Homo-oligomer: A and B are copies of this chain.
């Protein structure tokens, strides 16, 4: 049995999304048990069965707009987020799934579950749907504002093992997010990272990837610092969402549009689904000693169940063990 720890109070919709999502996952996967950390009174009425479900009660919830993540994680030990992380640290659950506030999830993973000794930094790694309907990994998108080239090297190794085990990509390729395709492009950081990654064994580095390739990406993995990655991922999200609204507006703006929509409703829905992250699961926290999946804050029950599916796969494939054996024994720090 794979034991999945769920931060049931977390996210924009709390138990309304996390509990039905957990029920979907329990139904689908017979090899999982779920421990729900959250408000028992609110959870119980939402349970459709109690098979392989345990509740650990707490009413305390981390605020989605929390401004001081370190302080919150250190002081709110009775919050559903801290409690599920501690349970994971003690080995009572094998992994954590949460749609809580991103920076708090990163800090709690770091401070409670703890960083792997082989990794000098943790990274936030979402899965990006692409034009060819295959998923890509991009990291870091927000755990560190500044990084060294060897951090990107560790991320590239970690993500290569994850791409193989979680996404089923046999020989994953790695690119460096940069403002041009040639080697000398970018800041000093990108130039040094390019050289570092070129010389790194164990990864298949293919050079620079430009941001206009972000959803039609030539590599399976894209590495970058957390500031740049966050800019890229949020620009992508905002553009996709706003373009969706523009399309809706234009369709609704005339009778022709409304009639046309009756014919192509399915096509438009398939289009919307192609950019929908609900299908692919959550962002993974890489670099800590257990799988942590951070579902989007506004995840509905389906999206949350996808995140559970993903966490299950990370445990089942022994991702962390495989990563540890892939990472260099001694810490490789050239600078």
Contacts from A to B (Cβ < 8 Å): 67, 131, 142, 145-146, 177, 179, 182, 186-187, 210-216, 227-228, 230-232, 234-243, 245-247, 250-251, 253-254, 256-257, 259-268, 270-271, 274-275
Q: List 10 A-B contacts (CB under 8 A).
A: A67-B182, A131-B245, A215-B239, A216-B242, A228-B228, A235-B236, A240-B243, A259-B263, A260-B261, A260-B265
Q: Which of B227, B241, B254, B274 contacts A267 (CB 8 A)?
A: B254
Report yes or no: B264 in contact with A235, Cβ–Cβ below 8 A: no
Measured CB to CB, the closest approach of chain B to A192, in angstroms, equals: 13
Q: Determine the distance from Cα of A231 to Cα of B189 in the docked complex, in whole angstroms.
A: 15
Report yes or no: B250 in contact with A238, Cβ–Cβ below 8 A: no
Q: Determine the distance from Cα of A211 to Cα of B247 in the docked complex, in whole angstroms.
A: 20
Report yes or no: A231 in contact with B228, Cβ–Cβ below 8 A: yes
Report yes or no: B256 in contact with A263, Cβ–Cβ below 8 A: yes
Report yes or no: B264 in contact with A256, Cβ–Cβ below 8 A: yes
Which residue, A235, A240, A242, A253, has most C-beta atoms of chain B within 10 A? A235
Q: Which of B211, B228, B243, B271 contacts A238 (CB 8 A)?
A: B211
Measured CB to CB, the closest approach of chain B to A271, in angstroms, equals: 4
**Which residues from B are CB-within-8-Å of A260?**
260-265, 267
**Which residues from B are CB-within-8-Å of A266?**
254, 256-257
Measured CB to CB, the closest approach of chain B to A27, in angstroms, equals: 30
8 closest A-B pairs by beta carbon, nearest first, are: A260-B264, A212-B238, A260-B263, A211-B234, A257-B267, A235-B235, A211-B235, A260-B260
Report yes or no: B186 in contact with A214, Cβ–Cβ below 8 A: no
**Which residues from B are CB-within-8-Å of A239?**
214-215, 235-236, 239-240, 243
